[in-house]
Structure 1
Amino acid sequence: MTEVVKASFSDIVGRVNNVPSLPEVVTQVVRLINDPRSSADQIHKIMTKDQAMAAKILRMVNSVYYGLPDPVHNLEQAIVILGFKTIRSIALSIAVINLFQQQDANFNMKSFWTHSAVMAQISRLLAAKAQLPDPEVAFIAGLLKDLGMLILVQHAPDETKKTIAVAREFRYDIQRATRKVLATDHAEIGAWLCEQWEMPEDLSDAIRNQSNLEAASDKKLTSVLMFGEYLCGLKKIRFAGQCGEPKIDAEVWTHLGIDKTSLVEVLSVINDEVDNAKTLLQIVM
């Protein structure tokens, strides 16, 4: 009996003829915000080149998501009030979610983006509690964590369908199920995409090692993603193929400094974070 050769990482990315690219405005904004010498005026001038995005950012700023006491009437004011890093998170959220809107009969996009948006919110919350230097990086990591699945849905549809079937039959988590079908997984593909977008190295590394804390270079950021996924599992906030039982390694708790009391505190505000995620999606999509 001939053994079936599993498609490798190189095979899958080789099928991607055109790597999805972020809008030039967003790329410029991210570069500016990552440069400590940049000013609000510079960021404002770039962002006004994309009026649709500017309008969505203003809608977001004036939504219950931020709950500001007074309405914000212009983009420049929004940049000053929210800060550069928060604006970066919003701009990336709008760009990435709008970039992947293809429909697939075997993959529910609404469930996927709901999970990703909740992951982003929870990751920011956990990062703040764990005193990471930039919780907004954790927000972006949470949002992009499972993006490799959408590359697989687009460019490996048959294998993805088999993966979901395996996950459902054996109650596997999505990475274990994917490795039964492919010689790669969505985490490796997602990290590759983040590298194409010139995301910070620690962010790409955390996404690649989202199930392998030992291999991760940034243990805290990777632990944030692991704990966020655990909480999403407890709350049944999942997308197609996520069928394993929620579990978490004791080392993750240690890296984040979270005890049972802290867990209760986090769980008590998860519903608020889910509502915030829904607000984000209503404005962006």
Structure 2
Amino acid sequence: MTLLNRDQVVTKLKQLPSLPSAVSELLASFGNEDVDIGEIAHKISRDQGLTARVLRVANSSFYGLQSKVGTINDAVVVLGFRAVRSMVLAVGMNSVLRVDQCPGFDAQAYLRHCVGVGLAARSLAQLTGHNPELAFTGGILHDIGKLVLASNFSAQYAETLAYRKKHDCFMVLAERDVLGMDHAEVGGLLAEAWRFPPALYEAVAEHHAPAASAAGSLADLIHLADAMTHGLGLANSSDEMVMPVDPTAWLRLGLNSEKLTRVLTQVVADMDETCQALNA
């Protein structure tokens, strides 16, 4: 058993490849009223792989457009800058972290779970007065700490995955037992390194401890969306488990069973096509 510490993780994060320039600029655009949307759209368009994946999402049933969009500029005009920013961040960050060297890590199940959380968070945001596009991005990225661990500490994380299976426990508990820190903490370090805006930092770092976050933060929303997605079994994983919902998060969101039923129905309806659009 090899425990990790904060310094080890931070050192590894400094060695990661740089984010695509368009993704970095979009992160920096939060809180900037003078962002040059046209220039950012142009930079996105120069990355053919990123553009293709964003347009697949834009043209999926997720947005329900009456006609197809063929360029990033068209997508910005039809859907708005915030929606396009959400899509670029969703598809542009996870691709930097490669997990093919970690035995036992199911990348497809990871993608499906994160898409489910993104869809659920977006629907919940529409019911609770949060920003739907920011919630979607937070849902897609909430478990990015797992990618950091699987791609940079593959042997230790493989050991963690085996421990979780042997002891039939929640993944976050297996991480703490084997590594001494969990994916939310590691994701928070990545969020700091990549200069996530505060709302996305909360979604990543605090989704397993929403009561410790401020009322009205994205952590409440992602926490509930995470539990809902596990409950629906959308990752198609045989060992999926549902962690208890924090009552503080539930009360602060002010939801009820009728509203949740509508969310669940919409998530299931959009799931497969959104996964296909986001997949490389």
Superposition TM-score, scaled by structure 2 size: 0.88
1:154 matched to which residue of 2? 151
Distance in 2 (CA, whole Å) between partners of 1:267 and 1:47 is: 32
Distance in 2 (CA, whole Å) between partners of 1:43 and 1:278 is: 25
1:253 matched to which residue of 2? 250
Deviation at 1:228, TM superposition (A): 0.9
Q: Deviations over 1:239-269 (max 9, x none)?
A: 8796544421222221111112212222222
2:128 matched to which residue of 1? 130
Q: For residues 136 and 180 of structure 1, do their structure 2 counterparts lie closer, same or farther at Cα, with a shift above 3 Å needed?
A: same
Task: Tell me whether 1:271 sits opposite 2:268 in the alignment.
Answer: yes
The 5 Å alignment of 1:174-185 reads 174-185=171-182
Distance in 1 (CA, whole Å) between partners of 2:13 and 2:75 is: 37
Q: For residues 243 and 115 of structure 1, do their structure 2 counterparts lie closer, same or farther at Cα, with a shift above 3 Å needed?
A: closer
Task: Tell me whether 1:42 sits opposite 2:39 in the alignment.
Answer: yes
2:209 paired residue among 194, 207, 212? 212
Quick check: 1:172–1:242 contact (8 Å CA) kept in 2?
no
1:7 matched to which residue of 2? 4
Q: Deviations over 1:20-71 (max 9, x none)?
A: 4310122124434652233543333333332332333333323333221123
Task: Tell me whether 1:115 sits opposite 2:113 in the alignment.
Answer: yes
Q: For residues 226 and 10 of structure 1, do their structure 2 counterparts lie closer, same or farther at Cα, with a shift above 3 Å needed?
A: same
Task: Tell me whether 1:70 sits opposite 2:74 in the alignment.
Answer: no
Q: For residues 40 and 240 of structure 1, do their structure 2 counterparts lie closer, same or farther at Cα, with a shift above 3 Å needed?
A: same
Quick check: 1:187–1:209 contact (8 Å CA) kept in 2?
yes
1:197 paired residue among 194, 199, 202? 194
Q: For residues 61 and 141 of structure 1, do their structure 2 counterparts lie closer, same or farther at Cα, with a shift above 3 Å needed?
A: closer
Quick check: 1:26–1:92 contact (8 Å CA) kept in 2?
yes
Partner letter of residue 232 of structure 2?
K
Larger mean Cα displacement after TM superposition, 67-76 or 232-241: 232-241
The 5 Å alignment of 1:157-176 reads 157-176=154-173
2:95 matched to which residue of 1? 98
Partner letter of residue 59 of structure 1?
R
Q: Deviations over 1:152-208 (max 9, x none)?
A: 112222321222222222322111111111221111111111121111123213322
Partner letter of residue 211 of structure 1?
H
Superposition TM-score, scaled by structure 1 size: 0.87
Question: Number of matched residues?
Answer: 279
Classify the secondary structure of the residue corresponding to 1:48.
Answer: helix
Deviation at 1:13, TM superposition (A): 3.1
2:54 matched to which residue of 1? 57
Distance in 2 (CA, whole Å) between partners of 1:21 and 1:218 is: 33
Larger mean Cα displacement after TM superposition, 264-273 or 235-244: 235-244
Q: For residues 237 and 13 of structure 1, do their structure 2 counterparts lie closer, same or farther at Cα, with a shift above 3 Å needed?
A: farther
What percent of counterpart residues are identical?
25
**Structure 1 unmatched ranges of 5 or more:** none
CA RMSD across the alignment? 2.5
Distance in 2 (CA, whole Å) between partners of 1:224 and 1:7 is: 29
Q: For residues 37 and 176 of structure 1, do their structure 2 counterparts lie closer, same or farther at Cα, with a shift above 3 Å needed?
A: same
Q: For residues 26 and 16 of structure 1, do their structure 2 counterparts lie closer, same or farther at Cα, with a shift above 3 Å needed?
A: closer
Distance in 1 (CA, whole Å) between partners of 2:53 and 2:45 is: 12
1:145 paired residue among 129, 142, 145? 142
Q: For residues 76 and 129 of structure 1, do their structure 2 counterparts lie closer, same or farther at Cα, with a shift above 3 Å needed?
A: same
Distance in 1 (CA, whole Å) between partners of 2:215 and 2:48 is: 37
Partner letter of residue 126 of structure 1?
L
Partner letter of residue 254 of structure 2?
G
Distance in 2 (CA, whole Å) between partners of 1:61 and 1:16 is: 31
Quick check: 1:33–1:43 contact (8 Å CA) kept in 2?
no
Distance in 2 (CA, whole Å) between partners of 1:88 and 1:150 is: 21
